[in-house]
């Protein structure tokens, strides 16, 4: 009963950043817009409001499945840790997003791997304490079917995740462009290692004649199908946002930039102080959207400090637009299209 009360409290805490964000949008809309110079902050602010709601829904789903599993007789410390993961993620991600929205000096690519590293070290220490169940732990065919395999795999997995956590923390020393890649590689490797270990341990058990399979914790066909559907949806979603998206730029009465997955912007020609064509504009993303196709959002480099970017990833040439205290970098799909756009903008500015 105490754990159920804690689960309710944890879920409500997960929603707090969303409620604070809604209050800020309602009370301080005009003052924030005036402070930042435009309304581009509203798109990431909307994300900061919606993200805790998504995490809240996931937390509710995970909590329901955890408590409905009649085989889940976990160590209370393990359950407590699981309950507070989502509130922590919600609060940390919201603070990060609002810091970036308000233009604070917030080194996300240094802090993120350190937080992830500490989380994996904590999870690695608790992993061996998980008893065999359907909801918490390394739930694969061989661990669910055999108590000895479960215990051995979770001991190995705990050590592996602690090592992974240390490597996560060390990746904070890398450049921001390499941080995400290193995290993805580490997650892939250290999520597969326990699976490989469990399989090899199973083969060893079969060879020694110690493999005893229990049917009580096997996942049902419905659960397996549900997991397969969810994973497929996630993979399709990732593929779509990675390889799709358009940037539409029109320069008639004013310069209008419309982009998928990020907020649109309109710039009056009277507000433009300078237009410059460049072969390349380096930068590291601090907030926004980045994929194989598009680079959108807030970036930084040594020359411009912080600037806004609407560009296709495969085209290096860019147009740098200087407005009142702000740099905006844009391009189109090809170098030729970008040059034509620059000429059109130059004519409008005359």
Tens digits of residue pLDDT in 83-129:
788 888 888 878 777 776 665 655 666 777 888 888 889 888 888 88
CB atoms within 10 A of CB 322: 16
- pLDDT in the model for residue 63: 74
CB atoms within 10 A of CB 338: 23
Question: CA-to-CA distance for 289 and 296, rounded, in angstroms?
Answer: 5
Range with top average pLDDT, 238-247, 279-288, 313-322: 313-322
The model's pLDDT over 147-196, given as tens digits with 9 standing for 90+, comes to: 899 999 999 999 999 999 999 899 888 876 677 788 888 988 998 999 99
Could you tell me where the beta strands, DSSP code E, fall in 111-159?
none
Phi, psi of 262 (to 5 degrees): -155, 165
Secondary structure percentages of the chain, helix, strand, coil, to 5: 60, 15, 25
CB 55 within 8 A of CB 83: no
Strand 255-259 and strand 294-301: the pairing is unpaired
The model's pLDDT over 271-307, given as tens digits with 9 standing for 90+, comes to: 999 999 999 999 887 777 778 899 988 888 889 988 9
The model's pLDDT over 191-218, given as tens digits with 9 standing for 90+, comes to: 899 999 999 999 999 999 888 887 655 6
- pLDDT in the model for residue 215: 62
CB 125 within 8 A of CB 162: yes
pTM (predicted TM-score): 0.64
Mean pLDDT value across residues 4-23: 83
Question: CA-to-CA distance for 72 and 179, rounded, in angstroms?
Answer: 36
CB 299 within 8 A of CB 322: no
């Amino acid at each position: 009963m105490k754990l159920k009360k804690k689960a309710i409290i944890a879920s409500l805490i997960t929603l707090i950043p969303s409620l604070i964000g809604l209050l800020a949008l309602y009370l301080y809309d005009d003052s924030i817009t005036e402070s930042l110079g435009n309304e581009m902050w509203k798109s990431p602010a909307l994300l900061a409001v919606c993200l805790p709601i998504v995490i809240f829904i996931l937390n509710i789903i995970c909590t329901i499945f955890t408590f409905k599993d009649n085989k889940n007789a976990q160590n209370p410390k393990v359950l407590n840790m699981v309950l507070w993961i989502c509130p922590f993620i919600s609060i940390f991600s919201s603070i990060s997003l609002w810091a970036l929205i308000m233009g604070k000096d917030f080194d996300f690519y240094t802090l993120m791997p350190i937080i992830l590293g500490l989380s994996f070290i904590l999870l690695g220490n608790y992993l061996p304490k998980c008893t065999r169940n359907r909801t918490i732990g390394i739930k694969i065919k061989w661990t669910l079917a055999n108590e000895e395999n479960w215990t051995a795999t979770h001991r190995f997995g705990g050590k592996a995740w602690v090592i992974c956590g240390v490597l996560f923390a060390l990746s904070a020393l890398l450049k921001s462009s390499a941080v995400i890649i290193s995290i993805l590689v580490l997650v892939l490797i250290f999520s597969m290692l326990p699976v490989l270990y469990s399989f090899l341990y199973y083969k060893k058990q079969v060879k020694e004649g110690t493999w005893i399979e229990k049917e009580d914790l096997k996942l049902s066909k419905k659960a397996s199908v549900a997991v397969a559907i969810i994973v497929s949806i996630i993979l399709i979603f990732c593929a779509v946002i990675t390889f799709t998206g358009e940037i539409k730029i029109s320069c008639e009465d004013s310069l209008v930039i419309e982009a998928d997955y990020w907020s649109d912007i309109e710039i009056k020609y009277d507000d433009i102080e300078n237009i410059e064509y460049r072969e390349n504009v380096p930068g590291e993303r601090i907030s926004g959207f980045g994929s194989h196709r598009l680079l959108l959002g807030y970036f930084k480099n040594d020359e411009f400090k912080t600037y806004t970017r609407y560009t296709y990833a495969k085209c290096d040439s860019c147009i740098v637009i200087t407005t009142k205290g702000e740099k905006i970098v844009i391009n189109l799909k090809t170098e030729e299209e970008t040059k034509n756009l620059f000429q059109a903008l130059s004519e409008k500015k005359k």
